[in-house]
Amino acid sequence: MSLPADQMELREEDVREHYSSAAAMLQGLDHTPRIAKAEAVDLPAGRSPGIGTRPRFRSTTPGLVTRSTARPEGVRLAERIEASDGGDVLISALQATVMQSLRRAISISLAVGKTYSDQTGLSTLKRENLEGRLPASRSNEFSELLTGEALATLYTFANATAFLLASSASEITVEIGSVDEVLTDNAQLALHGALWELDQDLALFASDEPRLVATVLSFAEQLMEKVALRAQTAGRLGPFADMRYRVEADDFTIAGFTPSRKGRGAALTMTFKKPNEVVGNHIAKYQAMKLSKMVMAYDFDRKLNPFAELGGFIFTFMGDGKPGTGKTTLIQMMAGLINGYCQTAGYPFRYQNFSIDQIDSYQGKSGQNAKAFVTNVLDPNVIGFGTIDDIDQIAGKRGDRQSSAGQQEVTAVFMEAFSGANTVVRGNCTFGMFSNYPENVDDALRQRAGARFLVDGPQSREDYIDILALLLGKGHEIPLGDHDLYAAQEIKRAVAKSFEAHSRPHEEALLNVWDKTEKKNGRLDTIAKMGSYLKAIQEADDRFTGRAIKNITDAIKVRAMDFELPEDWMEKPDLFLFKPYDEKLAMIRDLMQPITVDMVIQEINRYADSEFRYADKSDEAAIENAVREMGRMDEARRRYMSGKVDE
């Protein structure tokens, strides 16, 4: 197999050369912690905790020694792993997988460290140092290269561990805290320190097999993060940071200090809904259906979606409406569509919901939960769909005294993730925020929702007949009557009618702005006139900022792609999904429509209507709260004065 010019093959024989050393580290090593503090109880000499004198069956995996040679005070990671099942005398398949993955990860990291040493001349300096011939003038260089080798080895070990164990992970997660024993004197000491701390974490958290894997994965993630931060201030890392290594047997690519994640979806147990089971909500349903197909255009090789490059991809959206109007049904429909498309194409799909249960009383934990949620959905190796239901309860308004510290942490994480300085929109995932009370969401966070889905439920007589027939099902003999079932849900006709309804504003305050602008400038048919309308909106509501204009123009670009990707392209992946990136880009360009005045006006009104609706509700809620507070004060004053009179 030919590799790209910037990619180097890490040969299998070079990895296996380190198997015996890696196995010896797992079986036993001595390490005295220099930074971290020991918290776990050491294993008893010669046996795992909870095991009597009865001999335990040992793994016969090639390369793993069958007898512990470590002194009682040493780190015996293999025995620690064996002890995670509560004392079963037989080693389980999952425990063997963890040991094999760790041995493989250590071996790969040692091979990368050796390659780094050979490329940088560190190997020569090591020999000279052993022989006492190292020039004093090169001592600083020697020290810096040893640090570079240690960082490259540590990061590769953590990266490979996370990659190799990804397919064994369950839904259980473990929070181990930060990794502290990160030593950079040399590669071997660095690995010894990492394995010592992993042993400590396993003793504290790996109470059963699912938590065994979760603890190792959490440790690997924390170690990668800590080493990557340390690498930012270290020198002589170019040979590792700028080179891509490929381990063919594991389909594992090492790209410097960037995690190489194995695409792994999660099995979904939700009840999926078909589009015809979503009654009303025409624009929201139409955009959700389009977005479900858009995200499938993501190119796993280029790590980019053509729609994201063309500017018509919806990265974040807000779905708002009254309780019972169909927000959950919309989520079930969209997740079902993407899941079905991914199954056809063989793509990993990851759906995650962030709920109120993940707001924690411990300081920092809520933010960590939110960050983990975002990171999992953003994973460029999967198609992702993340939802945040009842976001008004989950993310607090900044400056609101009633918002908990956990809610404030979540708001900060979502603000940064959805439109921060480091936000990269690849087009492999989308985030949906849903709320019955969007006016209670922090203004800046709400404006990070690039699209607005008004989930207003059934509206017409036909809608109500359709939803009644749908929910009654087929277990009756009541005649349908004079009605063409589901004809009103025909998406193209319904959507066109819904978009036309936004040719004029709906909210009274915005309608006044529209009438004044149109009276002054005539029909809004030029960019200058439409710009004047936008300025007038801003003067009426100063929350209507430049971000609002960006969201509107993004929505307009989506309208320019107001076409259905043919269903055949989803059902037969070779027609589109498996095409090279540039070919997919060209196919999408051919379907694009020109941007029209009507599109621009409708999207301005649709977005501005939602902002004015939120503002009106927010102001009304604030007034009601103030009135209630005044009423309480009046009653308190009356009771107080009554008490004074009685005295």
The CATH number for 455's domain is 3.40.50.300
232 with 333, same domain: the answer is no
Which string of b and e fits 593-622 if b means at least 16 CB within 10 Å?
eeeeeebbbbbbbbbbbbbbbbbbebeeee
Length of the chain, in residues: 647
* Structural domain for 240, as ranges: 7-255
Within a domain: 270: no
pLDDT on residue 386: 93
Q: Which helix (H) or strand (E) holds 101?
A: helix 93-120
pLDDT on residue 51: 38
| CA 582 to mean position of chain CA atoms | 26
Q: Which helix (H) or strand (E) holds 351?
A: strand 349-354
Within a domain: 413: yes
| CA 52 to mean position of chain CA atoms | 45
Q: Look at the chain and report how many structural domains it folds into.
A: 2
pLDDT on residue 481: 87
pLDDT on residue 52: 36
Amino acid code (one letter) for 102:
L
Pairing, β 429-435 against β 451-454: unpaired
289 with 176, same domain: the answer is no
pLDDT on residue 63: 38
210 with 350, same domain: the answer is no
246 with 296, same domain: the answer is no
Above 80 in pLDDT, residue 457?
A: no
Given a contact cutoff of 8 angstroms between Cβ atoms, the answer to whether 164 and 217 are in contact is no
Within a domain: 520: yes
Q: How far apart are CA 617 and CA 535, in angstroms?
A: 23
| % of the chain with per-residue pLDDT over 90 | 32
Residue entry with tokens 């999967």: 382
Phi and psi at residue 330, to the nearest 5°: -65, -40
Sign of CA dihedral 484, 490, 495, 500: negative
Within a domain: 635: no
Q: How far apart are CA 212 and CA 101, in angstroms?
A: 13
* Higher-scoring residue by pLDDT: 172, 214: 214
* Higher-scoring residue by pLDDT: 600, 620: 600
pLDDT on residue 49: 39
- Minimum mean pLDDT range among 52-56, 166-170, 273-277, 566-570: 52-56
Above 70 in pLDDT, residue 102?
A: yes
Partners of 387 in beta bridges:
353, 432
Above 80 in pLDDT, residue 497?
A: no
Q: How far apart are CA 82 and CA 79, in angstroms?
A: 5
HSE, side-chain direction, 13 A CA sphere, residue 352: 22
Above 70 in pLDDT, residue 69?
A: no
pLDDT on residue 219: 94
613 with 568, same domain: the answer is yes
Above 70 in pLDDT, residue 488?
A: no
* Higher-scoring residue by pLDDT: 105, 404: 105
pLDDT on residue 118: 93
Above 70 in pLDDT, residue 31?
A: yes
Within a domain: 541: yes
Q: How far apart are CA 238 and CA 118, in angstroms?
A: 14
pLDDT on residue 375: 86
Pairing, β 383-388 against β 429-435: parallel
- Minimum mean pLDDT range among 319-328, 335-344, 513-522: 319-328
pLDDT band per the 50, 70, 90 thresholds, residue 361: low
17 with 159, same domain: the answer is yes
33 with 165, same domain: the answer is yes
Kindly report the number of other CB atoms within 10 A of residue 278's CB atom. Answer: 25
DSSP 571-626: HSGGGTTTS-HHHHHHHHHHH-----HHHHHHHHHHHHHHHHHHHHHHHHHHHHHH
- The beta-strand segments (E) located in 4-106 are 7-9
Above 50 in pLDDT, residue 632?
A: yes
385 with 494, same domain: the answer is yes
pLDDT on residue 259: 83
Pairing, β 244-247 against β 252-255: antiparallel
Within a domain: 344: yes
73 with 159, same domain: the answer is yes
Given a contact cutoff of 8 angstroms between Cβ atoms, the answer to whether 300 and 384 are in contact is no
Report the pLDDT averaged over residues 124-130.
92
Within a domain: 639: no
309 with 372, same domain: the answer is yes
Average model confidence (pLDDT) for the chain? 82
DSSP category for residue 325 = S
Within a domain: 261: no
pLDDT on residue 57: 39
219 with 302, same domain: the answer is no
DSSP 399-461: T-TTS-HHHHHHHHHHHHHHHSTT----SSEEEEEEES-GGGS-HHHHTT-SEEEE-----SH
- Of 143-147, 272-276, 547-551, where does the model show the most confidence? 143-147
Above 70 in pLDDT, residue 240?
A: yes
225 with 309, same domain: the answer is no
Considering 193, 225, 255, which residue would you say is the last residue of a domain?
Answer: 255
Report the pLDDT averaged over residues 252-267.
72
Above 70 in pLDDT, residue 509?
A: yes
pLDDT on residue 616: 59
Burial (CB < 10 A; 0-12, 13-18, 19+), residue 405, is middle
pLDDT on residue 405: 84
Helix 209-231 to helix 187-205 angle (10° resolution) is 140
